[in-house]
Amino acid sequence: MPDSPHAETLDIETTQPREQARAAVVSVENVAVSYPSREGVFHALSDVSLRVARREFISLIGPSGCGKTTLLRLIADLAQPSTGTIRVNGGTSRQARGDRSYGYVFQTPALQPWRTALANVMLPLEIIGLAANERRARATAALMAVGLGDAASRYPWQLSGGMQQRVSIARALSLRPELLLMDEPFGALDEITRDKLNLHLTDLWRDRDLTVIFVTHSIPEAVFLSTRIVAMSAKPGRISRVIDCGLPRRRTLDIRNTPEFLAISKQVRDALSDAYANE
């Protein structure tokens, strides 16, 4: 893989995110989002606070409509909070977006059908005005990183759903962001493909010192990937519980059979059934 400048910084297996004191990559403080509705005001998010430190992997999990996507969009400056503040990398979310400091993976791959896989990955690089040869080199490297080096010249409709989602991850990685925002990226995939991509994602996260905020509906997926799991509940959308997930940073799929894994899964499940009980 040509572009792995972080290869030598592979970490000693830190287990616990003790970085709370350090400058947060993302800090969300007392944020609320409300929309006018027929019955008065609808609270998509209410009094949400969350600090995400560097190299954390945060999963947002909760019932449909509890505001996971909304929270991600606030951090990405694709929507604005009604009240509260959001800081990204110490600045405003607007500045962070202007600096292209995050990569966003959407719930659908959202590939442009008139572009090949490679050209799709080059799209953000065109927007930031990178030279053509540099664009090609970086996009090729990003495609290789998700294991799609030989699908570069294929069009989206010639790719399976899993491949399309990997192209969209490569596209998010091509800007070399340190923060990755992912909204149910594997929601539409079968179990086995999902396992493979999960494994891939932890490797990327660890090897590249990424900070990831990840939305999912799957408890095993959340426990497998995360350093912290944020359980949310709806009406109003809020954080109901935050569960530390002290598994080693280097993970393989077998970890899912360990007692630690099962114990954390149970905690998440309990938190979620409380959230669903409130429905």
Partner 1 sequence: MSPATPLAVLALAATVGIAALMALTRLANRPGRAAAILTPMLFAVLVLFLWEVLTRGLAVPQVLLPAPSVIARAFWNASPELLQDVRQTVLFAAIPGFVCGSALGMVTGIAVDRSPFLQQGLLPLSSFASVIPIVGVAPIMILWFGFGWQSKAAVVLLITFFPAFVNMVAGLREASPIERDLMASYASTYWQTLWKLRLPAALPFLFTALKVNASLALIGAIVAEFFGAPVYGLGFRISAEIGHLALDRVWAAIAVAAAVGSGSYALLTAAERAATFWHPSQLPGSDRNS
Ligand X SMILES: Nc1ncnc2c1ncn2[C@@H]1O[C@H](COP(=O)(O)OP(=O)(O)OP(=O)(O)O)[C@@H](O)[C@H]1O
Query: Is 116 among the residues that bind Mg ion (CB under 5 A)?
Result: no
Q: Which amino acid is at 222?
A: A
Helices (H), the chain: 68-75, 93-98, 117-127, 132-145, 161-174, 191-207, 219-225, 259-277
Q: How far is the CB of 229 from ligand X (least distance, A)?
A: 15
Q: How far is the CB of 70 from Mg ion (least distance, A)?
A: 8
Query: Is 55 among the residues that bind ligand X (CB under 6 A)?
Result: no
Looking only at the bridges linking them, the beta strands covering 26-37 and 40-52 are antiparallel
| Residues numbered 64-93 forming contacts with ligand X, rule: CB under 6 A | 64-70
Piece of the chain touching ligand X by CB under 6 A; list 63-71, 90-98, 160-168, 206-214: 63-71
Give the count of alpha carbons within 13 A of 257, CB side only.
3
| Residues numbered 213-252 forming contacts with ligand X, rule: CB under 6 A | 237
- Enumerate helices (H) and strands (E) in the chain, giving the number of each: 8, 10
Distance CA 86, CA 67 (A): 16
Judged by the rule CB under 8 A, the positions of this chain that interact with partner 1 are 73, 76, 78, 97-98, 100, 102-104, 106-108, 110, 112-114, 123-124, 126-128, 155, 157, 175
Q: What are the residues whose beta carbons fall under 8 Å from the beta carbon of 146, sequence distance 6 or more?
A: 166, 167, 169, 170, 173, 200
Query: Is 44 among the residues that bind ligand X (CB under 6 A)?
Result: yes
Q: How far is the CB of 67 from partner 1 (least distance, A)?
A: 16
Nearest-CB residue for Mg ion: 69
Q: Of the candidates 27, 46, 69, 216, which one interacts with Mg ion according to CB under 5 A?
A: 69
CB atoms within 10 A of CB 218: 17
12: left (phi over 0), alpha (psi -120 to 50) or beta: beta
Q: How far is the CB of 176 from partner 1 (least distance, A)?
A: 13
| Residues numbered 246-275 forming contacts with Mg ion, rule: CB under 5 A | none
In the complex with ligand X, which residue's Cβ is closer, 67 or 124? Answer: 67
Radius of gyration of the chain (CA): 19
> 236 contacts which partner out of partner 1, ligand X, Mg ion, none, CB within 5 to 8 A by kind?
none
Q: Which residues bind Mg ion (CB under 5 A)?
A: 69
Contacts with ligand X, residue ranges (CB under 6 A): 35, 42, 44, 64-70, 237
